[in-house]
A and B are shown apart, each in its own frame.
Chain A
Amino acid sequence: MKNFSSTLIIFSILSILSSCGKILGGKKGEQENITTLRIIAVETTAGVSTIDTFEFSDPDGPGGNNPTRFDTLHLQAGKKYTVALQVLDYSKNPVVDLSPEIVEEGEEHQFFYLSNILGFNVTYSDQDSKGNPIGLNTEWNTPNVGNNGNLQVILKHQPRSKATAPGNINAGETDVDVTFPVIIQ
């Protein structure tokens, strides 16, 4: 019995010695994630500019709740749009704009635009330090007749594999992949 009691005491000492406060020791890392893609399209006719904003937003990221906003792009036929993308993290308060980070890491990132609408053209108007396109800033030319279809906006992360212009959509992994419905009137 004496041995048994002593053993219990030893184990109790071991237990106390081995107790580690918090399980993660206060590490609990956070990240900034892309939750929202915002398209700001500016069309200027006769010195008058029209600004349209379209958005896809899924604040809790992949899985969980459904996206809270998923807009259809309503564009005018036969127009030229100056377009800027904003990549946002809505899971943070205040909301974080990640677009400057993408510009900073421009040699590893490129946006690609794929559309099934005949006559709809996108041209890059920005570039990284090596002169290759990034695609945050673009110009869109819409066809002269009304049409419906899709526009797929893809952001690829391509460390060490980003190709020279016009780029290689098959390299790297996907950071953003949103297919917007498009109505051209």
Chain B
Amino acid sequence: MKNNPLIWGLFLFFPFFSVGQNVPNCKKNVVVLILDEHNREPLKKGSVRFKNQVYITQNQGQSLLPQVCLGDTLILSHLGCDPKTEVIHDLPDTLVFFLEHHAIELKTTEIIFKKRNWIQRSEFMPGKDPENLGRSFAQMLQQNAGASTLQTGANIEKPVLLGLTGNRVTYLQNGIRMESQSWGNEHAWETDPLTKQNIEILLGSRALWYGTDGIGGMINSLVIQPASSSKPWFFVHGQSQGRGGNVGVFVPFSTKMGLFSIQGTFKKLGDFSTPSYVLRNTGIEENSGSFSFLKQYENRRSLFLNFQIFNTETGILSWSHIGNLSDLRRTIDSNFIPQNEVFSYSIDRPRQNAQHQWIFGQWNDRKLQITFSRQYNYRSEYDKHNSFGMLGKNPQNEFGLAVNSFAVEKLKKWEGWGFRLDGRNISQDYGGKYFVPQFQGNVFGFSGERIFPEGKWRKTLVVRMENHSYHAIVTNLGKQPNLGAMGWGVGLNVKNESWRNAHLVFSTGRNWRFPGMNELFSNGLHHGTASIELGNMNLKPEVAYFVEGLLKKEMGKISFSSFSHFKTAFNFINLEPTGNYSLSVRGAFPVFHYTASNVVSWVQDFSVSKSDFFIPNLNAQIKSSIVRLKEWGSSSNLLGVPPLSVQAQLSYQKEWRGIVFKPMLKANYTSFPFWAPKNLEIGRLPEGYLLVDLGTNFFWKDWSGSFQMNNALNQNYFNYLDRLRYFAMAPGRNFSITLKKTIQ
């Protein structure tokens, strides 16, 4: 009964019930297994100090200890981990311990080589770094992983990878796709980053394991799993922009049933400000909570359950909701500088409300991993002007989306192959005015992965098939089409860690993406851009071919990395102006429609860093990123591709009276968008700008914290990737302070 997961699952609801058994006091041989707390990978070459002897862990993280008794003490350590002392209370054949590996705290854009030979741009831990605690999901990605963000004002952000966003950058949670992307770019991801243990960016072949459509890449976040070493913590964050902040708490606990954790966050911000004026109605209020349960069985089997809830109310810049094209032109032509705007915490129209619920269960043993999840998203949008009459308080748009997902992964290799079978059932409904259709869909995918470890060039092959089928109810056209297709992707990754003392990785492959429902069937007025957006039922699936390479070389204290990515995509779906106007009682609106063309893209990232720069513990880094994404034969990029950016950073570490300080100075230059499509620009393109951030993290006993000053020069600037840049500048200087206390 002890190992029956059904019983243990039911015990969740009866927390006072427990099971015990008698155990011998000593055992002749016990295997100690040390795993990375974050990714559960074995930590080899770790040390176990036991009875004045040191035992080194082998390739699978294991070490054999002789004559172990109850009450004995082990001291576990590993390079890059804090040592940990464990007293033995139980004597199974295998003792599993987890160490927190700090090597993955590197919060740079440099590509980190994992044990698996993939190109991964970055991986970081949201709750680990105190400066992260006040950031949104997209801000964390921007700061820690080098991703750009497409913004709609101060609080709505979406990550941009390889110049792509929206449907082409897939967000996964524990390998399960989050589906609300079809609601367009003016919506942030509904998730609290502090419910995540770590976040990784997957590019190229690796992204194919989860889907064929991650043409820009995939962002996979791993939900916090309670561990035996987890400690409770809480934090308080305050900032000058918005005159608010957030508070959060994490409480792990264990019973004989298993390991539990509860987490909660509350955030409240008022209006943001540029250096010159208040951005009225840009506040936000969020609350979220999560609950996790982990039951570990013998032989590394485990059952993990997780529940999350997330609610947000986001204000939209008051004067950005315009009536028609004339209003937009008038605003741009007048070079509007708002007067007499006063700070407020209230969130009025226009605004968005969103709710997200997530239930997740995963059974894991050494052979198989079975995952189930259900997600529900609800969003309501309120235009600046409420409707007339009794119905005036209703939102102008409502969307509901429910998704049931499953995934079965074969962990133990069969003839060198690993497999994944996954599927999801999607149901979307809408209320209010028509914009995207009601639909139901089923998607099934099958992935296979084969590793060829022989030789200096380690090769990994991934293949994936997907089948999509949908039934849409397109009310405004009076049609109920059934549509679908089957597609495939393939990727090959080749890695050599010792090529002329450098790391070298190549990846090539093919992506396939079925058009989104908004691209096929949207039909309505977009208030934010004062345009009519029309779907295109004739769109075909996108097919993209890519090749990318990474070179990383270390020469003493200097390290260098270069990442290159080339892609060509066919039937690339893009929203373009038709040149026509649609006449309505509210005036004339320009009409945009989804169309397909062939595109080519090129991304080049460089990074050079030097440790002990002039003085010990001072590290310097310079990195740059160039993105081109354009139609064949065109010299201009597509709309919304990030401009050239160059970042220089100095970081230092100093201990003073037991307090460890990690001060940082960062200068980030963003250029004028030279390759922006000027013919599609309705306003003036923003000039280049330099932003300076400075601050320090500090650690003292169980306390950690951060003091930061962003946009320290209080620079006036317009962000090319902000969809509201026609109406207002970006926010000015921001002071923030964060304090976190870990309770031992």
Contact = CB atoms under 8 A, between A and B. Distances in A.
Contact of A157 (B303, B363, B385): B385
Given A10-B9, A173-B384, A60 B585 contact: no
B586 A177 contact: yes
A110 interface: no
Interface string B383-424: 011011101101110101110101000000000000000000
Contacts of B385: 157, 173, 175
A18 B323 contact: no
Contacts of A17: 359
Interface string A42-71: 000000000000001110111110110010
A130 interface: no
Interface in A31-47: 31-37
A171 to B, nearest CB: 10
B404 A15 contact: yes
A96 B376 CA distance: 35
A174 B586 contact: yes
B538 interface: no
Given A61-B433, A62-B524, A3 B394 contact: no
A11 B323 CA distance: 48
A37 to B, nearest CB: 6
A30 B401 contact: no
Interface string B1-28: 0011111010000000000000000000
A15 B372 contact: yes
Contacts of A89: 388
Contacts of B389: 32, 96, 98, 101
B585 A34 contact: yes
A164 interface: no
A176 interface: yes
Given A14-B359, A20-B402, A96-B389, A58 B585 contact: yes
Given A32-B391, A61-B525, A175-B385, A7 B303 contact: yes
B347 to A, nearest CB: 15
Interface stretch (A21-29, A72-80, A120-128, A137-145): A21-29
Interface in B23-71: none
B372 A58 contact: no
Contacts of A29: 380, 391, 394-395, 398, 431-432
Contact of A31 (B321, B359, B378, B391): B391
Main secondary structure, interface of B, reads strand
A32 B393 CA distance: 10
A67 B391 contact: no
A6 B391 contact: no
Name which of A10, A20, A67 has the most chain B CB atoms within 10 A of its CB.
Answer: A10
Contacts of B6: 6-7, 9-10
Contact of A35 (B368, B429, B585): B585
B294 interface: no
A15 B394 contact: no
Given A62-B525, A173-B321, A3 B3 contact: yes
Interface residues of B, number: 68
B361 A56 contact: no
Contacts of A102: 388
B598 to A, nearest CB: 28
A26 to B, nearest CB: 10
A170 B584 contact: no
Interface string B582-594: 1111111101000
Contacts of B365: 3
Contacts of B465: none
B431 A24 contact: yes
B608 interface: no
B532 A33 contact: no
Contact of A176 (B5, B370, B585): B585
Contacts of B395: 29
Contacts of B391: 29-32
B324 A58 contact: no
B427 interface: yes
A31 B323 contact: no
A14 B327 CA distance: 50
Given A14-B361, A67-B583, A101 B388 contact: yes
Interface in B497-534: 523-525, 532-534
Contact of A175 (B323, B368, B404, B476): B323
Given A31-B396, A60-B476, A157 B432 contact: no
B523 A63 contact: yes
B322 interface: yes
A41 B384 CA distance: 32
A163 B321 CA distance: 20
Contacts of B533: 63
Given A7-B363, A32-B389, A173-B322, A24 B303 contact: no
B330 interface: yes
A30 to B, nearest CB: 5
B294 to A, nearest CB: 14
Contacts of B322: 173-174
Given A24-B429, A56-B585, A61-B584, A31 B394 contact: yes
Contact of B582 (A3, A19, A25, A62): A62
A29 to B, nearest CB: 3
A178 interface: yes
B634 interface: no
A170 B334 contact: yes
10 contacts: A7-B370, A10-B6, A11-B363, A11-B372, A23-B401, A24-B378, A31-B396, A34-B388, A64-B524, A174-B322
Given A7-B5, A24-B400, A32-B387, 11 more contacts: A14-B361, A18-B374, A25-B400, A27-B380, A27-B431, A29-B391, A30-B391, A31-B391, A67-B583, A157-B385, A177-B326
Ordered nearest first, which 5 A-B pairs have the shortest CB separation? A174-B323, A177-B587, A29-B394, A31-B387, A6-B6
Interface of A: 2-4, 6-11, 13-15, 17-20, 22-25, 27-37, 56-58, 60-64, 66-67, 70, 89, 96, 98, 101-102, 156-157, 170, 173-178
